[in-house]
Structure 1
Amino acid sequence: MLKLSHCCPLSRQRLNKALLMAKEELNSILPIEEQGTSEFVDCKEASSISCVLQKEVEEKVDNLDLDEPPDLPECTKKKKKKSKSKKKKELPEQTDPPSIPIVELFPSGEFPEGEIQQYKDDNLWRTTSEEKRELERLEKPIYNSVRRAAEVHRQVRKYIKGILKPGMLMIDLCETLENTVRKLISENSLQAGIAFPTGCSLNWVAAHWTPNSGDKTVLQYDDVMKLDFGTHVDGHIVDCAFTVAFNPMFDPLLEASREATNTGIKESGIDVRLCDVGAAIQEVMESYEVDINGKQLIAKIILFVVAKTTRLPFYTSRSIGVSRSVDSRYSKLPRLSSELGDGSGIRNLNGHSIGCYQIHAGKSVPIVKGGEQTKMEEGEFFAIETFASTGKGYVREDLECSHYMKNFDAGHIPLRLPRAKQLLATINKNFSTLAFCRRYLDRLGETKYLMALKNLSDAGIVQPYPPLCDIKGSYVSQFEHTILLRPTCKEVISRGDDY
Structure 2
Amino acid sequence: MNEDEMKKYTAAGEIAKRVKRDSRKWVREGEPLLDLCEKIERRIVELGGAPAFPCNICIDEIAAHFTPPPGFAGRIPNEGLVKIDFGVHVDGYIVDTAFTIPLSPRDREIVEVAEESLLKISEMLRAGIKISQVGEIVEKFASSKGFKVIRNLTGHQIDRFNLHTGFSIPNIRILGTEKFRKDMVVAIEPFITIADGSGEVGEIEETYIYRFKYLSMNYTSESGPLVKKLHNSFKTLPFCERWVINQFREVNRDSIKRALEHYRKNLMFYPVLVEKNRKKVAQAEDTFLVLEDSALNLTSE
TM range (shorter): over 0.9
1:177 equivalent among 36, 40, 47: 40
* Cα distance in structure 1, aligned partners of 2:113 and 2:61: 16
- Structure 2 equivalent of residue 401 of structure 1: 207
- Which sections of structure 1, spanning at least 5 residues, go unmatched? 1-135, 186-191, 289-297, 305-348
2:127 equivalent among 270, 289, 295: 270
- Structure 1 equivalent of residue 271 of structure 2: 466
* Cα distance in structure 2, aligned partners of 1:204 and 1:362: 28
Are 1:299 and 2:147 matched, yes or no? yes
* Cα distance in structure 2, aligned partners of 1:374 and 1:480: 21
Bigger relative contact order, structure 1 or 2 (CA pairs below 8 A, ≥6 apart): 2
Are 1:162 and 2:25 matched, yes or no? yes
Per the alignment, do residues 426 and 372 of structure 1 end up closer, same or farther by CA in structure 2, a change over 3 Å counting? farther
Per the alignment, do residues 489 and 274 of structure 1 end up closer, same or farther by CA in structure 2, a change over 3 Å counting? closer
Per the alignment, do residues 173 and 371 of structure 1 end up closer, same or farther by CA in structure 2, a change over 3 Å counting? farther
1:450 equivalent among 233, 257, 260: 257
- Structure 2 equivalent of residue 283 of structure 1: 140
* Cα distance in structure 2, aligned partners of 1:412 and 1:235: 17
- Which sections of structure 2, spanning at least 5 residues, go unmatched? none
* Cα distance in structure 2, aligned partners of 1:493 and 1:450: 36
Local SS of the residue matching 1:369: coil
Identity of aligned residues (%): 26
* Cα distance in structure 2, aligned partners of 1:245 and 1:357: 32
Local SS of the residue matching 1:484: strand
1:477 equivalent among 282, 285, 292: 282
* Cα distance in structure 2, aligned partners of 1:276 and 1:163: 35
1:355 equivalent among 150, 159, 166: 159
Per the alignment, do residues 488 and 262 of structure 1 end up closer, same or farther by CA in structure 2, a change over 3 Å counting? closer
Local SS of the residue matching 1:280: helix
- Structure 1 equivalent of residue 11 of structure 2: 148
* Cα distance in structure 2, aligned partners of 1:373 and 1:467: 31
Alignment of 1:218-367 (within 5 A): 218-288=75-145, 298-304=146-152, 349-367=153-171
1:236, distance to aligned residue in structure 2 (A) = 0.8
- Structure 1 equivalent of residue 228 of structure 2: 425
* Cα distance in structure 2, aligned partners of 1:282 and 1:412: 40
* Cα distance in structure 1, aligned partners of 2:56 and 2:263: 23
| Mapped contact 1:240–1:494 kept (Cα < 8 A) | yes
Are 1:435 and 2:241 matched, yes or no? no
Cα deviation code 1:405-424 (max 9, x no counterpart): 111xx3655455221x1232
Question: Based on CA coordinates, which of the two structures has the bigger radius of gyration?
Answer: 1
Per the alignment, do residues 412 and 237 of structure 1 end up closer, same or farther by CA in structure 2, a change over 3 Å counting? closer
Q: State the TM-score, normalized to the length of structure 1.
A: 0.57
| Mapped contact 1:417–1:452 kept (Cα < 8 A) | no
Cα deviation code 1:200-232 (max 9, x no counterpart): 011111101011011111101221111000001
| Mapped contact 1:221–1:245 kept (Cα < 8 A) | no
- Structure 2 equivalent of residue 494 of structure 1: 299
Local SS of the residue matching 1:494: coil
Moved more, 155-164 or 176-185: 155-164
Per the alignment, do residues 402 and 143 of structure 1 end up closer, same or farther by CA in structure 2, a change over 3 Å counting? same
Could you say which structure has the higher strand fraction? 2
Letter in 2 for 1:426: K
Letter in 1 for 2:27: L
Letter in 1 for 2:37: C
- Structure 2 equivalent of residue 384 of structure 1: 188
- Structure 1 equivalent of residue 177 of structure 2: 373
| Mapped contact 1:423–1:453 kept (Cα < 8 A) | no
Per the alignment, do residues 489 and 470 of structure 1 end up closer, same or farther by CA in structure 2, a change over 3 Å counting? closer
Number of equivalent positions: 295
* Cα distance in structure 2, aligned partners of 1:273 and 1:357: 26
Cα deviation code 1:43-94 (max 9, x no counterpart): xxxxxxxxxxxxxxxxxxxxxxxxxxxxxxxxxxxxxxxxxxxxxxxxxxxx
| Mapped contact 2:19–2:40 kept (Cα < 8 A) | yes
Letter in 1 for 2:96: D
